[in-house]
A and B are shown apart, each in its own frame.
Chain A
Amino acid sequence: MTDEKFDAIVVGAGPSGNAAAYTMAKAGLNVLQIERGEYSGSKNVQGAILYADALEKIIPDFRDDAPLERHIIEQRMWTMDDKSHTGMHYRSDDFNEEKPNRYTILRAQFDKWFSAKVREAGALLLCETTVTELVKDLKGNVIGVRTDRQGAPIMADVVVLAEGVNGLVGQRSGLREEVAPESVALAVKEMHFLPREVVEARFNLSGNEGVVIEAMGTITKGMTGTGFLYTNEESISVGIGCIVSDMAESKVTPNELLEAFKNHPSIKPLLADSECKEYAAHLIPEGGYNAIPRLYGDGWIVVGDAGQFVNAVHREGSNLAMTTGRVAAETIIALNRKREEMSASNLAEYAARLEQSFVMKDLKKYKGIPALLHGNKGNFFGTYPQLISQAMQTWFRVDGVDKKSKEKAIMRNFRETRSLRGMVGDAFKLVRAWR
C-alpha cells in the first residue's frame, strides 16, 4: 500500500474529514483517510447538534439511515443567575417538517455512520493510526505523511488536515501557530440517560421532537462561557464551557462548574433520576475570524476545527466543519480533473470559495464579538444576568408596591449597578460588534 500514491490523504475522521473524504471519493479520487481512534468518532466530542443543510449538500438522503436522535422544535435561550433563569423560548410546529432542519446526535454513533458512507464511496480508511508528521520535498511542498505505524511514508498529491482543534500535525510542521488560550474554550459534558417517555414528558415533547437549551450568566462565575442541555432520544447531554485563559486564572475546576450547573434549581429537575454514563471534555475554537490560521499551502489544506471554523455566537461548528471539508474537496477535485498542481496558488480557490459562503460571511460579521465579551466578561456573565433577574422578580412579585415605583426601582438598580454611561457604552459596543 505504501508504494501507492494517493490523490489525497485526509488526516482525521470527524465531520470535516469525513465530508472531505466522502466528496473526493465519490468523485472518483483515490483517497486515504487516517484516524487515530479505534473508529471514526471514538475521539470526538460535541454537544451535539447536526445542521441538516450542511450534510444535505454532501449526502442528500442522509435521513434514510443516519443515526439521528431528535429533531429540534424548540430553542430555549436562558440568562441565569444563581437561583433563576430568564428565558426566551421559540417553539414552532413548522419545525415538524418532512425534512427537519436541526437534529440532536450522539457523535460516536453518527461519525461511525458517516465513516461507513466514506468507505462505501471508495475511500480507504486506516484507523488506530496516528499521523506524526508531514513529509515535504526539498522545495517545502507537502508530499505525504508519516504515521506511528512502521513503514515508509505515505505519499499523496495533497494532504487535507482535518485533525481537529487539538491537532498537532499542522503546528509541528510549522503550517500554523499554536491555538491561544484566549481563543479556545474548554467544555465538559455528561451523558444522562432516562427512559424516552420521561424525556418527552419532562420537555413537553412527542415522538422524536427535541429541545435545546443554551444558557449564560452567573453559571460561568464571571468567566466567558455558556452552558447547554440537549434532549436526545433517551438521554440528555448537559455541559458547560469557558474560555481556557479565564479558567486558568480561576480556581474553579471544570467539574465543579458542571456540578454547580447541574444542581442549579432550573436544571436539576430536568436531570432528576437520570443515570450518567459518560464524562467528556473537549476544546472548542472560539476565537472567530481573527483566529483563523493560514488555510492552505503547497500540497496542504486545513478544514474544520483545525481551521478555527466555529461560529461561537450561534453555537455552530459541525456545519462549518462539513462545509469547509466539502469545499476543500471540491477545490481539489477541480484541480485533479484539470491535472493541475496542488500548489498554494491553485488551492487559494478554497479560500475564495469560502469567502462567498456563509462560513466566512458569518465569521466576519461576528469578528469583534470574542474580544468584546472577553473584555467585559464581568458585566456580560455576571452583572447583567443578575440585574435582569432582579428586574424580573421585582416586576412579577405582587407585594402591594405600585407598578410605577417598581419601574423606578428597576431602573435605579440598573443605573446604580452598572451606571448609565456603562450601559450605553456596552450597548454601543455590542451593536457595533454585532453588525
Chain B
Amino acid sequence: MSEMISGVAAKVEEKLFQNRYLVDAGRPHIRVKPHNEPSASLLAMITLCPAGCYATTESGQVEVAADGCLECGTCRIVTKKTGEIEWNYPRGGFGVLYKFG
C-alpha cells in the first residue's frame, strides 16, 4: 500500500497544485480555537481532511492551514459537537474555483 501510493502525483500537496484557488490572504476561513488538548474528533482531521490542511504542532495542538481547502465541510461537521473549529465560507469569490467540478 505505501509503495502503491508513493507514485507520481500521489501526494495531496502535489494534487492541489492542479486546482485553481483565489486565496483571501490574511483572512483564513477556518480557524482552530486555542486549546490545550485536541479532542479525538479534531485529531482525526489530520488524516480525514482530503486536502491535508490539518497538522499537529510540536506542543501537541492541532493547527489548520486552509489555503488548499476544498470546502467540503467535513471538519465542520466532525467537530460540531466539540466546537473547536470556527468555519465560514471564504468571502464571496474567494477560495477553491473548480474548473470541472
Contact = CB atoms under 8 A, between A and B. Distances in A.
A218 B89 CA distance: 35
Interface of A: 36-38, 41-46, 48, 106-109, 111, 127-130, 147-149, 165-166, 168, 178-181, 184, 186, 188, 190-191, 235, 244, 247-256, 259-260, 263, 276-283
B18 interface: yes
B4 A260 contact: yes
B74 interface: yes
Interface in B1-36: 1, 4-5, 7, 9-12, 15-16, 18-19, 22
Contacts of A244: 48, 74, 77-78
Interface in B35-56: 41, 44, 47-48, 50-52
Interface string B78-93: 1010000001111111
B70 interface: yes
Given A42-B97, A42-B101, A108-B98, 7 more contacts: A107-B101, A128-B93, A149-B92, A178-B80, A259-B4, A277-B18, A281-B74
A188 B50 CA distance: 7
* Minimum-distance CB pairs A-B, first 9: A128-B93, A166-B73, A107-B101, A281-B50, A279-B15, A128-B92, A281-B70, A254-B50, A259-B5
B96 interface: yes
Nearest to B15: A279
B48 A36 contact: no
A196 to B, nearest CB: 16
A47 B71 CA distance: 17
Nearest to B91: A148
Contacts of B96: 43
Interface residues of B, number: 43
Contacts of A281: 50-51, 70, 72, 74
B77 A184 contact: yes
A45 B100 CA distance: 8
A244 B99 CA distance: 25
A59 B98 CA distance: 25
A169 to B, nearest CB: 10
Nearest to A109: B100
Nearest to B80: A178
A38 B101 contact: no
Contacts of A191: 100
Contacts of A37: 93, 97
B97 to A, nearest CB: 5
A111 B99 CA distance: 11
A41 B100 CA distance: 8
B8 to A, nearest CB: 9
A280 B92 contact: no
A189 to B, nearest CB: 9
